[in-house]
Chains A and B, each alone.
Chain A
Amino acid sequence: VLVVEGTLIAVAVLVLLGHSLIRLRHERKLQEHLVVAEAAAMATLEGGRPSRVDLNPLRSLPVSTRVEVFRGLNTAMRGVNKDSVGTLANQLGVVDRARQLCRSRFWWRRLLGARLLTKLGVGEDAVPALLDDPVAEVRAQVAEWAADHPSPELIERLLNLLNDPETLPRFSVQDSLLRMGNAVIPALDRYIASHSDDDNEAALVVAIGLADSRFLGSAALLCKADHPQTRALAGTLLGAIGGEQAVNLLLELLDDPSAHVRAAAARSLGKLGHWPAASRVGQLLRDATWTVRREAGLALRGLGSPGLLVLRRFLRDDDQFAADMAQQVLDLPDTPSRALAQ
């Protein structure tokens, strides 16, 4: 046992030291390649074509190293610049390698392929097929890729993933749909209208972010949903949309039996700055639930002078909870952004 243990210790020490040295050498070399790749990328971005001489050092590298070099390039670029980097990656065989990875039977390779193609902004022929991948991380990555490729077909497929059993793909899909913006609205509205209350929570979060008046009909219907969380989200959506009909519905929601819904309705009215509702919202300062009182106070503050008047009136209210909340909200400092807005 001692001999085996001693051997293992010796091997571990050797691996530790050996790996350190190899890694240092590798990183130094990679840095050199990265400088060449950046020069080539810059030449491409400036409108010219990188010369063969520029690209030769990169072509001579193994594909895996070329992939690694492209990881190091700034991937925050968008539009024409991103296309140019994609072209360069294509010339160097990186895109082909990423496509191959997307077809691998190992999930981590498919994930790597999808991530590379996301960074390079290409891959229409390889990535969408992975939307049905059995691994959640891969599906989430494809959703991320899709944000830059908002085709009607992809949007429909993403919407079907809003109720993915795993959390990560749901998060990624919501995020991508929000990033896609206007292109999503008609399909999302149809989706909300055709699904039951419980299945609509993730879709409503996206609709709130998109804040488009085309969701008004769906939001009005969902204000009467059985599930309180759905009604609360519908109330928030109405606050994002605005308009007379939305305000009327929100006033009805102020009397909802669920505290979540009342709080959301008050918040929405404050956000809309609908000052005629100040008195109604003020009544919620006497609500039994802290969250509702808090949201009502903040909403009144959002209503400007009429809301502040109501808050001051409540300072002398018989209900100590209401008076306390009014006092706290009145004490809140004006932040620089708020002061500028005023």
Chain B
Amino acid sequence: MDLRHVLVFFDWVIFAYFLLINSFYALLLISASWSMRRHLLTMAHESSWRVLGSEVAPVVSVLAPAFNEGSTIAESVRALITLHYPNLEVVLVNDGSTDNTLDVLKREFELVAIHPIYRHDVDSQPVNGLYKSRVNPELVVVDKRNGGKADSLNAGLNVATGDLICAIDADTLIEPDALLRMVRPFLLRDDVVAAGGTIRVANACEVSDGRVIRPRVPKRPLAGIQVVEYLRAFLFGRLGWNSLGGNLIISGAFGLFRREAMIAAGGYVHDTVGEDMELVAELRRRGIMQKGPHRVDFVPDPVAWTEVPESVAVLGRQRDRWHRGLTDVLWRYRGLFLNYRFGALGLVVYPYFLLVELLSPIVEALGLLSVVLSIALGAINMTFAVLFFLVAYGYGLLLSLFALLLEQLSFRRYPRLMDRALLLLWALAESFGYRQLTVWWRLRGVARFIGKRTDWGEMTRRGFSSPEDLSQIGPRPARSNQLRNP
């Protein structure tokens, strides 16, 4: 068999893979539309204030790790303690900040040091001090040696007393009624072990007192395209899984978990860059094995806003890390693959994440190479190749447009025509350069996983804008590990 035949055969394999994953995307899209319809019908005219006034609402502990956030921490904590929820506890974990984060907290919330003993349920770096607020009894501050986000969440988990644990990034902007929305799956079903919500892009939005007051679509291409990407990932990607076997990822920016299950799972692991996904995988695996709660639900309501990278280098490092995390978790849980004992998790969810999420950049890159070679050697027809690419990228665009449509028919968080036009523009622009770059970054992530790289890479943020200082945005440093996987 000569090279041409090999290439033709390989092109057919790529074509079959293309058909397979796009059929699955279509299935996800149908499932997401169905779930969204049901969700909207259920939520129509519902008064979430009912839960707010209820004595029987479960206690929620919000865990917020912070590292060198002195300039914004007071505002962030105030936004957390004023969340609309009746039984709330806020556990702020100062992860060995070297700036004045702890001093600001002490001053603003009149913290009083208490004897630092706590239940040692999961491993974390040593705790230097525990503080309770004199003015906000629901606030607990844990001051600990630096150990990263996962370690901070474990320390917070040891101190938290709530039935449900809400893990967030300290600088995530949370919707005031986010907990009322997120607690719903736990009130609906006994077998829910974790729930995630839609994270939206905060860049260009007007922010005041730690809340997004006017959502806007960024005019800068890199951030704008990520708005479309996030909408697609959450509204059709994650939502679609609700009826197809449940999710395997909950964003680290905002997730709600059953505390007992988290402790039984050993909390967050430290030796991975995909600790959010690892926890969800472990909760599901353990739940199924022990016939306990194991369902992971996704709530399509926009519950939190996060800042996305606006520079190519930072974005590249973020995507590389996400893909390393994905590869690592799939490798750790390889025993789930096609394992009928785990039902849909083993037979549908895991294979999807392996074959589509993990391998798609590899197949896409190999496909591109092979097609170029095939054309050069005359192995395939040029017209067919061009048409194939048009169909492939057109399908991607169609999926983005459906995600925009879902947003518009449901939550309409971007009411201005200008913003919707921008969303359309960024959906069209995504295929030209951005998509190819993400393929490269993900490939780099796989390579670095094989090379056993475990660093997070440095991240920088621009910061949020308030109505007063929209024209005075300056760069501000951020901890290295806060930009989360959608």
What residues make up the interface of A, taking CB atoms closer than 8 Å to B? 1-2, 5-6, 8-9, 12-13, 15-17, 19-21, 23-24, 71, 75-76, 108, 111-112, 115-116, 119, 136-137, 144, 166-168, 171-172, 174-175, 178, 205, 209, 290, 324-325, 327-328, 330-337
Is there contact, CB below 8 Å, between A332 and B398? Answer: no
Quick check: which of B50-58, B142-150, B301-309 contacts chain A, the rest being far away? B50-58
Other-chain contact of A336, B135, B187, B190, B394 (Cβ < 8 Å): B135
Q: Which residues of B contact A136 (CB under 8 A)?
A: 188
Contacting pair A331 B113 (CB below 8 A): yes
Closest CB-CB distance, B117 to chain A, in whole Å?
A: 5
Contacts of B390 in A (CB 8 A): 2
Q: Which residue of A lies closest to B393 (CB)?
A: A5
Q: For chains A and B in complex, what number of residue pairs have CB atoms within 8 angstroms?
A: 120
- Point out the residues of chain A lying under 8 angstroms from B137, CB to CB: 335, 337
A75 to B190, CA, bound (A): 31
Is B188 in contact with A20, judged by CB distance below 8 angstroms? no
> Contacts of B387 on A, CB cut-off 8 Å?
2
**15 A–B contact pairs at CB < 8 A?**
A5-B391, A12-B398, A16-B424, A17-B420, A20-B417, A115-B45, A119-B45, A119-B47, A167-B188, A178-B54, A178-B56, A325-B117, A328-B114, A332-B112, A336-B134
Q: Does B115 contact A (CB under 8 A)?
A: yes
Kindly list 14 other residue pairs between chains A and B, CB separation below 8 angstroms, not including A5-B398, A167-B186, A171-B54: A9-B394, A12-B402, A16-B405, A16-B424, A17-B421, A24-B417, A75-B47, A115-B45, A119-B47, A175-B50, A209-B56, A328-B115, A331-B112, A331-B115
Nearest B-chain residue to A24, judged by Cβ? B417
Residues in B whose Cβ lies below 8 Å from that of A5: 391, 394-395, 398
B41, A108: Cβ atoms under 8 Å?
A: yes
Q: How far is the CA of A209 from the CA of B50 in the complex (A)?
A: 16
B409–A111 CB distance below 8 A: no
Expressed in whole angstroms, the Cα–Cα distance for A16 and B403 within the complex equals 11
Q: When the two chains form their complex, are residues B135 and A6 in contact, meaning their CB atoms are under 8 A apart? A: no
**B398: contacting residue among A8, A16, A171, CB under 8 A:** A8
Known: A12-B401, A24-B417, A115-B45. A6 touches B394 (CB 8 A): yes
Residue contact A2 to B394, C-beta cutoff 8 Å: yes
Asked if A13 meets B401 with Cβ closer than 8 Å, knowing A19-B409, A168-B187, A178-B56, the reply is: yes
In this assembly, does B370 line the interface, its C-beta being within 8 Å of a C-beta of chain A?
no
Contact of B408 with A20 in the complex, beta carbons under 8 Å: yes
Q: B277: CB under 8 A from chain A? A: no
Is there contact, CB below 8 Å, between A175 and B401? no
Q: Answer yes or no: B8 CB below 8 A from chain A CBs.
A: no
Give the 4 A-B CB pairs with smallest separation, nearest first.
Answer: A331-B114, A108-B41, A328-B115, A333-B112
Task: Judge whether B117 and A324 touch: CB under 8 Å.
Answer: yes
Chain B residue nearest to A109 in the complex (CB): B41
Cα–Cα distance between A219 and B402 once the two chains are bound (Å):
57
B186 CB contacts on chain A under 8 angstroms: 167
Please name all residues of chain A whose beta carbon is closer than 8 Å to the beta carbon of B391 when the two chains form the complex. 1-2, 5
B contacts with A, residue count (CB < 8 A): 49
Q: Which residue of A lies closest to B404 (CB)?
A: A16
Instruction: Type the 1/0 row for B134-167, where 1 means its CB is closer than 8 Å to any CB of A.
Output: 1101000000000000000000000000000000
Near A by CB (< 8 A), chain B positions 97-143 give: 110, 112-117, 119, 130, 132-135, 137
Q: Is B42 an interface residue (CB 8 A)?
A: yes
Is the CB of B291 closer than 8 A to any CB of chain A?
no
B412 within 8 A of A: yes
The reply to whether A16 and B401 contact each other, CB–CB distance below 8 Å, is yes
- B114 touching A108 by the CB < 8 A rule? no
Q: From known contacts A136-B188, A328-B115, infer whether A71 and B55 are also in contact, taking CB-CB under 8 Å.
A: no
For B130, what are the chain A residues with a Cβ–Cβ distance below 8 Å? Answer: 328
Known contacts A13-B401, A20-B408: does B46 contact A115 (CB below 8 Å)?
A: yes
- Please tell me if the beta carbons of A333 and B133 are within 8 angstroms of each other in the complex: yes
Q: Within the assembled complex, what's the spacing in Å between the Cα atoms of A116 and B412?
A: 23
Residues 424-446 of B at the A interface (beta carbon under 8 Å): 424
CA distance A328 to B55 in the complex (A): 28
Q: Is B14 an interface residue (CB 8 A)?
A: no
Complex interface residues of chain B between 355 and 391 (CB less than 8 A to chain A): 387, 390-391
Pick from B116, B397, B405: contact of A15, CB under 8 Å: B405
Residue in B closest to A10 when the chains form the complex, CB atoms: B401
Most interface-central of B41, B133, B189 (chain A CB within 10 A):
B41
Residues of B within 8 A of A333 (CB): 110, 112, 114, 132-134
Interface residue? B1 (CB, 8 A)? no
Tell me whether B56 and A174 are in contact (CB under 8 A).
Answer: yes
> Which of A9, A76, A166, A325 gathers most chain B CB within 10 Å?
A9
Docked CA distance A330–B114 (Å): 8
Partner of B42, one of A15, A16, A108, A119: A108
Give the residues in chain A near B41, CB-CB below 8 Å: 108, 111
Minimum Cβ distance to chain A for residue B137 (Å): 4
Q: Whole-angstrom distance from the CB of A113 to the nearest CB of chain B?
A: 10
The minimal Cβ–Cβ distance linking A293 to chain B, given in whole angstroms, is 9
Which of A166, A324, A328 is packed against the most chain B CB atoms within 10 Å? Answer: A328
Residues 321-333 of chain B, each 1 if its beta carbon lies under 8 Å from chain A, else 0? 0000000000000
B42 touches A111 (CB 8 A): yes
- Note all chain B residues with C-beta closer than 8 A to A75: 47
B405 CB contacts on chain A under 8 angstroms? 12, 15-16, 19
Q: Nearest Cβ in chain A — how far from B177, in angstroms?
A: 15
Closest to B392 in A: A5
Bound Cα distance from A336 to B138, whole angstroms = 12
Rounded to whole Å, the gap between the CB of A331 and the closest CB of chain B is: 4
Contact between chains at B50 and A13 (CB < 8 Å) = no
Cα distance, A337 to B136, chains bound together (Å): 10
* B117/A171 in contact, CB under 8 A: no
Q: Does B313 contact A (CB under 8 A)?
A: no
Give, as a whole number of angstroms, the nearest-CB distance from A198 to chain B.
Answer: 15
* B119 surroundings in chain A (CB, below 8 A): 290
Neighbouring B residues of A16 by C-beta, 8 Å: 401, 404-405, 408, 420, 424
Residues of chain A lying within 8 A (CB to CB) of residue B110: 333
Closest residue to B114 on the A side, CB-wise? A331
Q: Are B45 and A9 in contact (CB under 8 A)?
A: no
Q: Are A168 and B188 in contact (CB under 8 A)?
A: yes
Does A167 lie within 8 Å of B190, measured CB to CB? Answer: yes
* Least distance between A171 CB and chain B CB atoms (Å): 5
Chain B residues closer than 8 Å to A325, beta-carbon distance: 117
Nearest A residue to B190 via CB reads: A167
A257 to chain B, nearest CB (A): 21
Are A335 and B404 interface neighbours, CB within 8 A?
no
- Contact residues in B for A9 (Cβ distance below 8 Å): 394, 397-398, 401
Q: A209-B55, A324-B117, A331-B115 are in contact. Are A19 and B408 (CB under 8 A)?
A: yes
Nearest Cβ on chain A to B40's Cβ, whole angstroms: 9
Q: Is the CB of A167 within 8 A of B420?
A: no
CA separation between A5 and B22, bound complex, in Å? 13
Taking a contact as CB atoms under 8 Å apart, the answer to whether A13 and B117 are in contact is: no
Is A328 in contact with B44, judged by CB distance below 8 angstroms?
no
Please measure, in the bound complex, the distance between the C-alpha atom of A41 and the C-alpha atom of B405, giving whole angstroms: 36
* Interface set, chain B 13-49, CB cutoff 8 A to A: 41-42, 44-47, 49
Contacts of B132 in A (CB 8 A): 332-333
Residues of chain A within 8 A (CB-CB) of B133 are 333
Closest partner residue, chain B, to A171 (CB atom): B187
Considering only CB atoms, which chain A residue lies closest to B134 in the complex?
Answer: A333
Bound: A168/B466 CA distance, A:
39
Could you tell me the distance between the alpha carbons of A93 and B46 in the complex, rounded to whole angstroms? Answer: 21
Report if A175-B117 is in contact (Cβ < 8 Å); known contacts: A9-B394, A75-B47.
no
